């Protein structure tokens, strides 16, 4: 290893208009030669002028990493390389991301490396084996900390530009024999530069090349005017010419004890002339003695003598202690939970005892409380989320969900895991916010009338018989929204293969909320009993020529589920007509149980749509605000309409709160779906925004309407009159969204599968 030559490159960084310092990087050419050579040539600019110069660090996440190197677009969405485009991963397993200061190639999936890179600010074990490690930081750790402390927006993009001003390669210089130096050069080591080394003193390991910022020399001693303590605690003061101390006289002790100086105090009588202060010293006037005629020197570096402390009133550069080094000759940063911790004040996740809220100093590390049972979601008692989870689990979920809320992705700045598609994911609290789908070719979807094309029609037309295996569900231009459903628009927008198993009237399971449908003389087909088995049968279908019915590669197929409208609604939970012993949590259990079956069949990318704001639909709305009385979906509706609307609001909010916490629990903490990626699509808030701001979404020619509906019928579903401007409405009828609303849902869904939607929270295992 000692004979291996690893080249070193440098990046001079500016924050705004001001130089921040230099990052010197040693490249692992012996471990990842192709990736390291790409990085080296982009530093030197020797390949067709491609260079990191003027490229930004477009993504900064303190206590995780800084990312830059987009020489194509400059915003994190592009990449380039000396190999003419993206190239393959290299030696991914040669070491773990077990230290700060590692330089890694950023990517958007397997074999998609280019110019983008990131530097770790702490160990990132969740990224092991996912990114090529090409080098390490050998100097410039203070510069790295400066960059990590810049202010950023919600997309982790610096508010003030952080640019690579200059870059290049450092050349190794051999030690030369001493030679006579010109007088002016020899003077560099004279009195004017005490302690500096001559240029001829360079060692074999030093680099020559582009100039670097001057290296600070160690302090020889404290200021001559500073009083310190002797061996036995007596005040001692520096003499005017010697480095040794002498005891102060009694007069001098008395003068110094009250903060004043004796007229004969050596501090004023003897002023030693010294060379100009080096750059790391600053001159400041004494403010505690108005008659003082001297200036004292103090160092601007924090914790000079170990007794300086900083609080939140100081700038960020003063709030963090220097990181100790390990004895492995590798920069490792702080160890354990003390890494980059503030010197004073608490972390935003600490409690009054100074401990992380999860009780264990790390995510989920607290364990169960001895007085509380383990987490069990299969219970049949009254729903109480807090009672179902131990305190440590709740705190861990609060960390996870809180970090998600503080980090909303938004295109084009935050594709999978952060700004741009080339990103290493996220930090400890948000390290599982990833969406690693590189290519979207197929969509498999389960649901009810909000999604169904023609399957319920097949049941009706065939006296309740189910479609055969390999059934191609035809598109309907007269679906429940009055036109095409949202999945057909997803197919149109993306060109993906569509396998739609949704059935109008469906619930998750007829063992929880069965609903009778007289047209087929049976309950509506459900997800658990019909839709999932139909999918499993189709996925196993192989024709005689050897081709499969479904084109569903695991790395390019998304499985979406949107269910709950009927589970919570008429003839179900809102009327307490569910099977005895079941409740809202049982319905949610069913949803994850069906996802288990898809996962076991090879599914790895899931989009779970939460419950729509049904309390805004005319079916469950308030009278005077669009709420409907008896209608085709609830012919015998009676009672307090406001009470019905309020109860539906309670059910919707409760179900979505469970989804919000249950999803990260199952994916991250329980590791129920190893290797899978989940997106929780907040379609509820999207539809709420349509309701609150219709002019941004609806585009019909008639006045915009979010309380009424397009198709108005009598209580038996007859004598219908349709409005001539359906795109002006949020709702098509008493229960179903309009086609325009479903177009918006489809457009947002496309962003969700890209990994860039602000209406999605991403989780990966």
User: Is residue 118 annotated as a catalytic residue, yes or no?
Assistant: yes
Buried b or exposed e, range 602-639, using 16+ CB within 10 angstroms? ebbbbbbbbbbbbbbbbbbbbeeebbbeebbbbeebee
DSSP for residue 189: G
For every residue of 401-430, which 3-state class applies, written as one string?
HHHHHCCCCCCCCCCCCCCCCCCCCCCCCC
Which secondary-structure segment (H or E) carries 677? strand 677-681
User: Is residue 691 annotated as a catalytic residue, yes or no?
Assistant: no
- CA–CA distance, 89 with 110 (Å, rounded to integer): 7
User: Is residue 678 annotated as a catalytic residue, yes or no?
Assistant: no
Of these residues, 8, 22, 40, 131, which one is catalytic? 131
* Alpha carbon distance, N-terminus to C-terminus of the chain: 36
Residue 8: name the closest of 27, 23, 22 by CA.
27
Of these residues, 38, 41, 67, 711, which one is catalytic? 67
Q: Which two tokens stand for residue 629?
A: 């009385």
Of these residues, 127, 437, 595, 609, which one is catalytic? 127
Of these residues, 8, 58, 59, 484, which one is catalytic? 59
Q: Where are the beta strands (DSSP E) in 47-180?
A: 59-61, 65-68, 102-105, 117-120, 133-139, 162-172
- CA–CA distance, 707 with 691 (Å, rounded to integer): 8
- Burial label, 271 (beta-carbon count in 10 A; 0-12, 13-18, 19+): middle
Of these residues, 57, 118, 606, 729, which one is catalytic? 118
Q: Which two tokens stand for residue 596?
A: 């288990």
- CA–CA distance, 597 with 594 (Å, rounded to integer): 5
Give alpha helix (H) positions in 3-121: 33-44
User: Is residue 59 annotated as a catalytic residue, yes or no?
Assistant: yes
User: Is residue 127 annotated as a catalytic residue, yes or no?
Assistant: yes
Of these residues, 38, 41, 107, 113, which one is catalytic? 107
User: Is residue 660 annotated as a catalytic residue, yes or no?
Assistant: no
Check: CB of residue 715 under 8 Å from CB of residue 632. Answer: yes
User: Is residue 604 annotated as a catalytic residue, yes or no?
Assistant: no
- Burial label, 5 (beta-carbon count in 10 A; 0-12, 13-18, 19+): exposed
Of these residues, 10, 64, 605, 678, which one is catalytic? 64
Check: CB of residue 481 under 8 Å from CB of residue 741. Answer: yes
Separation in Å, CA 349 to CA 26, 158, 342, 363, 394: 35, 23, 12, 11, 13
Residue 113: name the closest of 87, 94, 133 by CA.
87
* Total Cβ atoms within 10 A of residue 348: 10
**Catalytic positions, please?**
59, 64, 67, 107, 118, 127, 131
């Amino acid at each position: 290893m000692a004979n291996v030559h690893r080249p070193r490159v440098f990046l001079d960084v500016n924050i705004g208009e001001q130089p921040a310092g230099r990052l010197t990087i040693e490249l692992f050419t012996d471990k990842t030669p192709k990736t390291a050579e790409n990085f080296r040539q982009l530093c030197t600019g020797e390949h067709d002028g491609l260079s990191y110069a003027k490229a930004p660090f477009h993504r900064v996440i303190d206590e995780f990493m800084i990312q830059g190197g987009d020489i194509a677009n400059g915003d994190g969405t592009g990449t380039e390389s000396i190999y003419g485009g993206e190239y393959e991963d290299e030696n991914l397993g040669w070491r773990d991301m077990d230290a700060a200061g590692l330089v890694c190639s950023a990517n958007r999936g397997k074999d998609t490396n280019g110019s983008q890179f990131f530097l770790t600010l702490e160990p990132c074990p969740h990224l092991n084996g996912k990114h090529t490690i090409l080098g390490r930081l050998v100097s410039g750790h203070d510069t790295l900390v400066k960059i990590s402390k810049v202010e950023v927006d919600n997309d982790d993009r610096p508010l003030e530009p952080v640019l690579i001003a200059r870059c290049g390669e450092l050349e190794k210089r051999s030690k030369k024999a001493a030679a006579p130096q010109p007088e002016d050069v020899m003077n560099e080591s004279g009195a004017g530069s005490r302690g500096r080394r001559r240029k001829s003193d360079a060692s074999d390991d030093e680099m020559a090349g582009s100039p670097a910022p001057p290296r600070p020399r160690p302090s020889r001693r404290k200021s001559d005017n500073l009083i310190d303590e002797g061996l036995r605690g007596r005040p001692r003061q520096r003499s005017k010419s010697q480095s040794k101390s002498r005891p102060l006289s009694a007069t001098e002790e008395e003068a110094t004890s009250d903060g004043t100086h004796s007229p004969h105090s050596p501090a004023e009588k003897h002023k030693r002339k010294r060379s100009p202060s080096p750059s790391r010293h600053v001159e400041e006037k004494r403010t505690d003695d108005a008659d003082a005629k001297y200036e004292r020197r103090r160092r601007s570096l924090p914790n000079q003598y170990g007794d300086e402390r900083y609080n939140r009133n100081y700038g960020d550069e003063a709030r963090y202690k220097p990181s100790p080094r390990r004895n492995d000759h590798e920069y490792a940063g702080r160890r354990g939970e003390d890494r980059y911790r503030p010197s004073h004040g608490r972390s935003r996740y600490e409690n009054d005892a100074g401990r992380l809220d999860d009780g264990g100093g790390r995510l989920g590390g607290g364990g169960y409380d001895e007085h509380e049972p383990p987490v069990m979601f299969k219970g049949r008692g009254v729903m109480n989320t807090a009672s179902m989870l131990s305190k440590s689990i709740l705190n861990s979920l609060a960390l996870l969900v809180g970090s998600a809320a503080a980090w909303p992705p938004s295109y084009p700045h935050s594709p999978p895991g952060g700004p741009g598609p080339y990103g290493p994911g996220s930090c400890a609290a948000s390290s599982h916010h990833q969406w690693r789908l590189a290519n979207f070719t197929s969509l498999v979807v389960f649901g009810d009338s909000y999604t169904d094309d023609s399957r319920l029609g097949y049941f009706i037309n065939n006296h309740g018989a189910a479609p055969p295996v390999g059934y191609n569900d035809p598109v309907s231009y007269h679906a429940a929204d009055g036109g095409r459903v949202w999945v057909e628009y997803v197919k149109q927008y993306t060109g993906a293969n569509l396998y739609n198993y949704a059935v109008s009237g469906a619930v998750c399971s007829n063992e929880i909320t069965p609903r009778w449908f007289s047209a087929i003389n049976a309950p509506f087909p459900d997800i658990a009993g019909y839709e999932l088995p139909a999918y499993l049968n189709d996925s196993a279908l192989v024709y005689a020529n050897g081709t499969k019915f479904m084109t569903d590669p695991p790395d390019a197929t998304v499985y979406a589920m949107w269910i709950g409208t009927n589970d919570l609604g008429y003839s179900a939970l809102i009327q307490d007509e569910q099977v005895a012993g079941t409740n809202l949590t049982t319905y949610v259990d069913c949803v994850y149980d069906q996802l288990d079956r898809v996962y076991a069949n090879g599914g790895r990318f899931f989009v779970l749509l939460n419950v729509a704001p049904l309390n805004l639909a005319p079916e469950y709305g308030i009278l005077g605000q669009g709420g409907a009385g008896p209608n085709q979906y609830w012919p015998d509706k009676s009672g307090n309409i406001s009470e019905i609307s309020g109860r539906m609001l309670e059910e919707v909010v409760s179900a979505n709160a469970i989804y919000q916490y249950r999803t990260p629990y199952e994916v991250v903490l329980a590791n129920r779906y190893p290797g899978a990626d989940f997106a929780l699509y907040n379609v509820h808030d999207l539809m709420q925004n349509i309701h609150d701001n219709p002019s941004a979404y609806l585009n019909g020619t008639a006045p915009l309407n979010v309380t009424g509906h397009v198709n108005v019928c009598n209580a038996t579903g007859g004598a219908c009159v349709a409005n001539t401007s359906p795109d002006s409405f949020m709702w098509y009828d008493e229960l179903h969204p309009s086609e325009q609303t479903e177009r918006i849902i489809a457009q947002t869904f496309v962003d969700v599968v890209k990994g860039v939607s602000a209406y999605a929270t991403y989780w990966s295992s």
